[in-house]
């Protein structure tokens, strides 16, 4: 199936599902699209039992799409930049210490907690699995997905001082999570004896600090270019070129592309409106990136729903997926407890911040993409199913109840 046909089908489905949700369901945008996409996929599977050609064509479409490449190498940079542009630097600066701990130490602790608990749960139900593969699963499921978090928090109406912590954490922890995942993947492929602490430290430094430095440098260059002119069409093009250029350069030098794009987005979004952009340019840049954000989010969540076609739905895998839901939530609660306790008095956290941030830790497409990148011998089919179950529960279950949970806690505290 050629690329134009694939893109056409995805955009047509996204537009139709968005219309159905807006006209009839009236659910939060991303959640509604994914629910409709899952129902649509289930209908295809059902009809496919009687007319195999329908199911075969649908499978051909999904198998033609490299979900990992589409998300991590194409869509992610645009979505992260769009979200980072609207993140205020003063809020991030005030909460930089807990956000740093959430997105680094928190992800690392969660990785080992999830991996360890899942290993023993799998043993209890009779599924033999290597511990290192469970750690890989812990690494891919621990980071919250900034795309899902940003989309859902818009509808949850969380207080700003809580929102900045959740959004700030999600913008940075996926880059850190990918680095941890790559380190554990290297250990799984080469063996623990072939990987030393110096190599791990260099990889972390190169990916994380290289990405941050690159994002700041090229963000500054883009800012200077836009400051020197007043032509909104050209300035919109510069932001677009900046995102694509940063991600390409980061990939070439083995820096973290997500972190680079986030840093550039925060820099541009905070510096340019007052210094580099006219009011007209500011309006057009915002509208352009809002449209990019909405379109790509629609396609992404429709794709997540359609990925159900390639997920192994065996009872054992689904059971492990259901058991992994409380494991992931418990690990996140424990991992967040330390930083929240340390900064609770200094930063005046709202009541039950740990509970809200645990429930607000939405997993999404990034976790599915990383699961798809596993090799078959690393229990890829198992972890893809388990990850999919967690992602669906996270986006629909946690996403729909996050707003009511926040409102209920704040009402009790008032």
Read off the pLDDT of residues 338-389 as tens digits, 9 standing for 90 and up: 999 998 877 778 889 999 999 999 999 999 999 999 999 999 999 999 999 9
Q: What is the pLDDT of residue 145?
A: 84
Q: Backbone phi, then psi, for 29, in 5-degree steps?
A: -50, -60
Domain ranges of the chain: 3-63, 67-413
DSSP structural state of residue 249? H
256-279 burial, b for 16+ CB within 10 Å, e for fewer? bbbbbbbbbbbbbbbbbbeebbee
Q: What is the pLDDT of residue 152?
A: 76
CA distances 140 to 40, 255, 257, Å, are 27, 18, 17
Q: What is the pLDDT of residue 401?
A: 92
**What is the CATH code of the structural domain delimited by 67-413?**
1.20.1530.20
Q: Are 298 and 14 in contact (CB under 8 A)?
A: yes
DSSP structural state of residue 130? -
Q: What is the pLDDT of residue 288?
A: 97
Return all residues near 168 (Cβ < 8 A) that are at least 6 apart. Answer: 87, 91, 92, 95, 99, 102, 103
Q: What is the pLDDT of residue 403?
A: 86
Please tell me the distance from the alpha carbon of residue 381 to that of residue 384, in angstroms, as a whole number.
5
Please tell me the distance from the alpha carbon of residue 170 to that of residue 166, in angstroms, as a whole number.
6
Q: Are 367 and 336 in contact (CB under 8 A)?
A: no
Length of the chain equals 414
Q: What is the pLDDT of residue 242?
A: 97
Q: Backbone phi, then psi, for 201, in 5-degree steps?
A: -60, -40
Q: What is the pLDDT of residue 362?
A: 93
CA distances 35 to 8, 128, 298, 313, 328, Å, are 21, 33, 12, 18, 22
Query: Over its length of 414 residues, how does the chain's per-residue pLDDT go in tens digits?
Result: 788 999 999 999 999 999 999 999 999 898 999 999 999 999 999 999 888 899 999 998 998 999 999 999 889 999 999 989 988 888 788 888 999 999 999 999 999 999 999 999 999 999 999 999 999 999 999 999 887 787 777 666 677 777 888 888 988 988 888 888 988 998 888 876 666 777 777 878 888 899 999 999 999 999 999 999 999 999 999 999 999 999 999 999 989 999 999 999 999 999 999 899 999 999 999 999 999 999 999 999 999 999 999 999 999 999 999 999 999 999 999 999 999 999 887 777 888 999 999 999 999 999 999 999 999 999 999 999 999 999 999 999 999 998 888 888 888 876
Read off the pLDDT of residues 37-73 as tens digits, 9 standing for 90 and up: 999 999 999 999 888 899 999 998 998 999 999 999 8
Q: Backbone phi, then psi, for 230, in 5-degree steps?
A: -140, 80
Q: What is the pLDDT of residue 156?
A: 67
Please tell me the distance from the alpha carbon of residue 384 to that of residue 397, in angstroms, as a whole number.
19
Please tell me the distance from the alpha carbon of residue 101 to that of residue 335, in angstroms, as a whole number.
10
Judge residue 175's burial from the number of C-beta atoms within 10 Å of its C-beta, 0-12 exposed, 13-18 middle, 19 or more buried.
Answer: buried
């Amino acid at each position: 199936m050629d690329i134009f046909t694939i893109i056409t089908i995805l955009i047509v489905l996204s537009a139709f599902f968005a219309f159905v949700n807006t006209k009839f369901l009236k659910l939060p945008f991303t959640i509604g699209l994914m629910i409709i996409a899952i129902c649509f996929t289930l209908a295809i599977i059902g009809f496919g039992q009687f007319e195999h050609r329908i199911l075969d064509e649908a499978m051909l479409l999904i198998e033609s799409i490299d979900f990992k490449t589409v998300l991590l190498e194409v869509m992610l940079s645009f979505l992260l930049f769009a979200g980072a542009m609207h993140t205020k630097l003063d809020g991030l600066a005030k909460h930089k210490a807990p956000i740093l701990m959430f997105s680094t130490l928190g992800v690392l602790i969660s990785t080992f907690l999830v991996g360890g608990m899942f290993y023993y749960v799998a043993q209890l139900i009779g599924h033999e699995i290597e511990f290192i593969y469970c750690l890989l699963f812990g690494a891919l499921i621990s980071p919250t997905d900034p795309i899902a978090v940003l989309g859902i928090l818009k509808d949850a109406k969380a207080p700003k001082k809580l929102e900045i912590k959740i959004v700030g954490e999600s913008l940075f922890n996926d880059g850190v999570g990918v680095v941890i995942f790559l380190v554990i993947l290297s250990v799984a492929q080469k063996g623990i004896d072939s990987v030393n602490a110096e190599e791990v430290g260099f990889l972390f430094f190169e990916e994380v600090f290289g990405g941050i430095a690159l994002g700041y440098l090229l963000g500054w260059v883009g800012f200077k270019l836009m400051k020197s002119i007043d032509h909104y069409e050209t300035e919109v093009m510069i932001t677009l070129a900046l995102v694509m250029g940063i991600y390409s350069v980061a990939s070439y030098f083995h820096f973290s592309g997500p972190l680079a794009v986030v840093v550039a987005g925060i820099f541009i979004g905070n510096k340019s409106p007052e210094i580099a952009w006219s009011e007209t340019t500011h309006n057009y840049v915002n509208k352009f990136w809002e449209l990019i954000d909405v379109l790509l989010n629609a396609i992404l969540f429709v794709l997540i729903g359609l990925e159900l076609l390639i997920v192994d739905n065996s009872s054992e895998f689904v059971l492990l997926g259901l058991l992994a839901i409380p494991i992931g939530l418990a690990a996140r609660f424990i991992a967040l407890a330390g930083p929240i306790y340390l900064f609770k008095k200094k930063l005046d956290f709202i009541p039950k911040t740990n509970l809200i941030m645990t429930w607000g830790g939405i997993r999404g497409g990034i976790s599915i993409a990383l699961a798809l990148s596993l090799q078959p011998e690393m229990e890829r089919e198992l972890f893809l199913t388990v990850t999919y179950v967690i992602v669906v529960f996270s986006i629909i279950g946690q996403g729909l109840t996050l707003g009511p949970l926040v409102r209920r806690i704040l009402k009790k505290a008032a």
